[in-house]
Amino acid sequence: MPKPPDLRRSRVPRWRDVPRQDGRRFVVTGASSGIGLETARALVGAGAEVVLAVRDRSKGERVAAGLSAGPSAGPGATGRAEVRVLDVADLSSVHDFAEGLDRVDVLVNNAGVLGMPLGRTVDGFETTLATNHLGHFALANLLLPRLTDRVVVTGSRSHLHGRLDVDDLGWERRTYRPYAAYAASKLANLLFLAELQRRLTASGSTLRATGAHPGSTATSITASSGSAALAWVGSWGHRLAGMEPWQGALPTLYAATMDVPGNTYVGPHGPGEMQGWPTTARRAPAALDPDLARRLWERSEELTGVRFPF
DSSP per residue over 177-190, as a string? -HHHHHHHHHHHHH
| Residue 20 pLDDT level (bands cut at 50, 70, 90) | very high
182 noted as active-site residue = yes
Q: Which of 179, 182, 254, 265 is catalytic?
A: 182
Domain tally, the chain = 1
Q: 137-146, 180-189, 217-226, 257-266: which range is least confident on average? A: 217-226
Q: Given a cut of 70, is residue 195 above it in pLDDT?
A: yes
Q: Is 8 part of any domain?
A: no
Q: Is 99 part of any domain?
A: yes
In 36-76, DSSP assigns E strands to 49-54
CA–CA separation, 196 and 300 (whole Å): 12
* Residue 13, pLDDT score: 82
The CATH number of the domain holding residue 268 is 3.40.50.720
Q: Is 100 part of any domain?
A: yes
Q: 123-132, 153-162, 236-245: which range is least confident on average? A: 236-245
Q: Is 6 part of any domain?
A: no
Cβ pair 212, 112 in contact under 8 A: no
| Residue 239 pLDDT level (bands cut at 50, 70, 90) | low
Q: Is 184 part of any domain?
A: yes
Q: Is 12 part of any domain?
A: no
CA–CA separation, 265 and 211 (whole Å): 5
Q: 134-138, 217-221, 258-262: which range is least confident on average? A: 217-221
Cβ pair 120, 127 in contact under 8 A: yes
CA–CA separation, 154 and 248 (whole Å): 12
Can you give the residue range of the structural domain that contains 232?
Answer: 21-304
Q: Is 288 part of any domain?
A: yes
Q: Is 14 part of any domain?
A: no
CA–CA separation, 104 and 167 (whole Å): 34
Task: Name residue 238's amino acid.
Answer: H
User: For residue range 61-89, what is the model confidence (pLDDT) as tens digits?
Assistant: 999 999 975 544 445 557 999 999 999 99
* Residue 217, pLDDT score: 83
Provide mean pLDDT across the span 144-163.
97
User: For residue range 202-232, what is the model confidence (pLDDT) as tens digits?
Assistant: 999 999 999 999 998 866 544 454 555 555 5
